[in-house]
Chains A and B, each alone.
Chain A
């Protein structure tokens, strides 16, 4: 998980504490079973409006549409994978695999833009690492048997 201190720096960069909290809550780097995935989803309470808001704040903070969208998309993929895991339905296996195929580590460009936005290389790299770790965990979710 992203530390409280790094969350604070992110909140300053985003100029919004609540959105920073949303971003941190989506950087889940612990593998979970279906019940734990559901518990995490209950905290996130994902909605289209929320997704759009996070995306917009990331775009403005990084001053780059492509970078903001890249970070937001990776976080959305993690949540999508968690949804399939929580459902634990074999009918979702194909959809889970398709979502997992979209998991990518953040690009060097995204990292650099995040560093500039957060004005802190170490903290931005830690945040990017946590987002990447969440993606790696999501990519490792096993199919429902």
Chain B
């Protein structure tokens, strides 16, 4: 494999990294929302 092709692969990998980060962040946000919702239901039940 030529060095230029290896470098292209490396750069493509780097370009994909932020997209993965965004996905992870979205997942975390969703999880937090679910937790919030659960807390609300629990509070309502206690009341």
Chain A residues close to B by CB (< 8 Å): 1-2, 4, 7, 17-18, 20-22, 24-25, 28, 30, 32, 36, 39-40, 43-44
B6 touches A30 (CB 8 A): no
Q: Which of B1-21 contact A (CB under 8 A)?
A: 2-8, 10-11, 14-15
A43 touches B8 (CB 8 A): no
- Chain A neighbourhood of B5, CB < 8 A: 21
CB proximity of B26 to chain A, nearest CB, Å = 23
B14 touches A43 (CB 8 A): no
Which of A18, A22, A32 has a CB less than 8 Å from the CB of B14? A32
- Cα–Cα, bound, A25→B11 (Å): 10
Interface residues of A: mostly helix, strand, loop or mixed?
helix
6 residue pairs, one from A and one from B, having the closest CB atoms: A24-B4, A25-B3, A21-B4, A21-B2, A25-B7, A43-B6
Give the tally of cross-chain contacts (CB within 8 A). 41
Interface residues of B: mostly helix, strand, loop or mixed?
helix
- Cα–Cα, bound, A99→B14 (Å): 25
Q: Most A CB atoms within 10 A — which of B4, B11, B15?
A: B4
- Chain A neighbourhood of B7, CB < 8 A: 1, 24-25, 28, 40, 43-44
Q: List 13 A-B contacts (CB under 8 A).
A: A1-B7, A4-B4, A22-B4, A24-B7, A25-B7, A28-B7, A30-B11, A36-B10, A39-B10, A40-B7, A43-B6, A43-B7, A43-B10
Apart from A1-B7, A24-B4, A43-B7, 11 more pairs, CB < 8 Å: A1-B8, A2-B4, A7-B4, A17-B2, A20-B4, A21-B4, A22-B3, A25-B3, A28-B11, A36-B14, A39-B10
